[in-house]
Amino acid sequence: MLTRFCSGLCALLIFWLPTALAADSGWLQSPQNDHASIRLRGDSQRLLLEVKLQPGWKTYWRTPGEGGIPPSLRWDTPEIKTRWYWPTPQRFDVAGISTQGYHNQVNFPLVMKDAPAGKISGTLTLSTCSNVCILTDYPFTLNLAQPVDGQFSYDFAQAMGHVPAASGLTDRLQAGYRPGEIQIEARRTAGWQHPALFLDNPPDTSVGEPVLQIDGDTLSARIPVSDEWGDPAGNLRGKPLSLVVADSGMAQQSTLTIGAPLAIASGSAVPLWQMLLLALAGGLILNLMPCVLPVLAMKLGSILQIQQRERRAVRGQFLASSAGIIAAFIGLALLMTLLRLSNQALGWGIQFQNPWFIALMVAVTALFSANLFGLFHIRLPSGFNTRLATHQGSGHGAHFLQGVFATLLATPCSAPFLGTAVAFALAASLPQLWVVFIALGAGMSLPWLLIAAWPTLALRLPRPGRWMNALRIVLGLMMLASCLWLLSLMAAHIGLRATLISGGVLLLFLLAALWRQQGARQALAVSAVALCFTGLLLLIGSLAASRGHKPLQDNIHWQPLSEQAISQALAQHKRVFVDVTADWCVTCKANKFNVILNSKVQKALQAPDVVALRGDWTRPSKTIQHFLQARHSVAIPFNQIYGPGLPQGKVLSPLLTTESVLTTLEQAKGVHP
**Global confidence as pTM:** 0.50
Closest to 102 measured CA to CA, from 157, 64, 47, 46: 64
Sign of CA dihedral 174, 66, 617, 363: negative
Q: How far apart (Å, rounded) are the C-alpha atoms in residues 269 and 265?
A: 10
Mean pLDDT to the nearest integer, 115-128: 89
Q: Is 50 helix (H, G, I), strand (E, B) or coil?
A: strand
| Contact predicate 19/149, CB 8 Å | yes
Question: Sorting pLDDT into bands at 50, 70 and 90, what band is 495?
Answer: confident
Specify the DSSP element, H or E, that contains 183.
Answer: strand 181-187
Cis, bond preceding 647 (omega within 30 deg of 0): no
CA angle at residue 550 from 548 to 552, to 5 degrees?
Answer: 145
Q: How far apart (Å, rounded) are the C-alpha atoms in residues 27 and 40?
A: 8
Closest to 158 measured CA to CA, from 197, 229, 220, 107: 107
Q: How far apart (Å, rounded) are the C-alpha atoms in residues 90 and 251?
A: 12
Q: How far apart (Å, rounded) are the C-alpha atoms in residues 252 and 169?
A: 6
Closest to 164 measured CA to CA, from 271, 104, 79, 88: 88
Q: Which amino acid is at 303?
A: I
| Contact predicate 23/29, CB 8 Å | no
Question: Is residue 35 pLDDT above 60, yes or no?
Answer: yes
Q: How far apart (Å, rounded) are the C-alpha atoms in residues 649 and 631?
A: 10
Q: What is the DSSP string of 272-288?
A: HHHHHHHHHHHHHHHTT
CA dihedral 265, 271, 277, 280 (to 10 degrees): 20
Q: Which pLDDT belongs to residue 467?
A: 55
The answer for 323, left when phi > 0, alpha when psi is -120 to 50, beta otherwise, is alpha
Please provide the distance, in angstroms rounded to a whole number, between the alpha carbons at the two ends of the chain: 68
Question: Is residue 146 pLDDT above 80, yes or no?
Answer: no
| Contact predicate 220/630, CB 8 Å | no
Q: What is the DSSP string of 384-412?
A: T--BSSSSS--SSHHHHHHHHHHHHHHTT
* Adjacent-strand bridge partners of 254: 243
Q: How far apart (Å, rounded) are the C-alpha atoms in residues 105 and 369?
A: 70
Give me Rg for the CA atoms of the chain. Answer: 34
List the alpha helices (DSSP H) in 161-288: 272-286
| 3-state secondary structure string across 619-663 | CCCHHHHHHHHHCCCCCCCEEEEEECCEEEEEECCCCCCHHHHHH
Q: Which pLDDT belongs to residue 636?
A: 81
Residue 27 burial (C-beta neighbours within 10 Å; 0-12, 13-18, 19+): exposed
Q: How far apart (Å, rounded) are the C-alpha atoms in residues 30 and 312?
A: 89
Q: What is the DSSP letter of 52?
A: E
Q: How far apart (Å, rounded) are the C-alpha atoms in residues 664 and 649?
A: 10
Q: For the chain, how many residues are written?
A: 673
Q: What is the DSSP string of 533-555?
A: HHHHHHHHHHHHHHHHT--SS--
Q: What is the DSSP string of 549-585?
A: T--SS----EEE--HHHHHHHHHTT-EEEEEEE-TT-
- Other beta carbons less than 10 A from residue 469's beta carbon: 12
- CA–CA distance from 9 to each of 12, 209, 399, 462 (Å)? 5, 59, 106, 119
Question: Is residue 436 pLDDT above 70, yes or no?
Answer: yes
| 3-state secondary structure string across 489-502 | CCHHHHCHHHHHHH
Q: Which domains does the chain have, with CATH numbers?
A: 15-160 (2.60.40.1250), 172-266 (2.60.40.10), 272-465 (no CATH), 558-667 (3.40.30.10)
Sign of CA dihedral 628, 632, 637, 638: negative
Question: Is residue 88 pLDDT above 90, yes or no?
Answer: yes
225-275 pLDDT per residue, tens: 887 666 667 778 888 999 999 998 899 999 999 887 776 544 444 567 777
Closest to 92 measured CA to CA, from 111, 70, 74, 68: 68
Cβ-based neighbours of 556, under 8 Å, separated by 6 or more: 596, 602, 605, 606, 612
Q: Which amino acid is at 544?
A: A
> Residue 485: how many CA atoms within 13 Å on its side-chain side?
18
Q: How far apart (Å, rounded) are the C-alpha atoms in residues 638 and 656?
A: 10
CA dihedral 186, 191, 193, 195 (to 10 degrees): -10
Higher pLDDT, 86 or 632: 86
CA angle at residue 241 from 238 to 244, to 5 degrees?
Answer: 155
579-613 pLDDT per residue, tens: 999 887 877 888 888 899 888 999 999 999 999 99
Question: Is residue 22 pLDDT above 70, yes or no?
Answer: no
* Adjacent-strand bridge partners of 259: 176
Q: How far apart (Å, rounded) are the C-alpha atoms in residues 479 and 361?
A: 11
Least confident of 72-81, 357-366, 372-381, 642-651: 372-381
Q: How far apart (Å, rounded) are the C-alpha atoms in residues 107 and 268?
A: 41
542-592 pLDDT per residue, tens: 554 444 444 457 888 999 988 888 888 888 889 999 999 988 787 788 888
Mean pLDDT to the nearest integer, 308-332: 78
Mean pLDDT to the nearest integer, 458-485: 65
Q: How far apart (Å, rounded) are the C-alpha atoms in residues 498 and 397?
A: 35
* Adjacent-strand bridge partners of 104: none
Question: Sorting pLDDT into bands at 50, 70 and 90, what band is 325?
Answer: confident
Mean pLDDT to the nearest integer, 364-368: 75
Cβ-based neighbours of 198, under 8 Å, separated by 6 or more: 61, 63, 88, 89, 91, 100, 243, 244, 246
Average pLDDT over all residues of the chain: 77
Q: How far apart (Å, rounded) are the C-alpha atoms in residues 34 and 301?
A: 77
CA dihedral 600, 602, 608, 614 (to 10 degrees): 140
Q: Which pLDDT belongs to residue 10?
A: 45
Specify the DSSP element, H or E, that contains 241.
Answer: strand 240-247
Question: Is residue 328 pLDDT above 60, yes or no?
Answer: yes
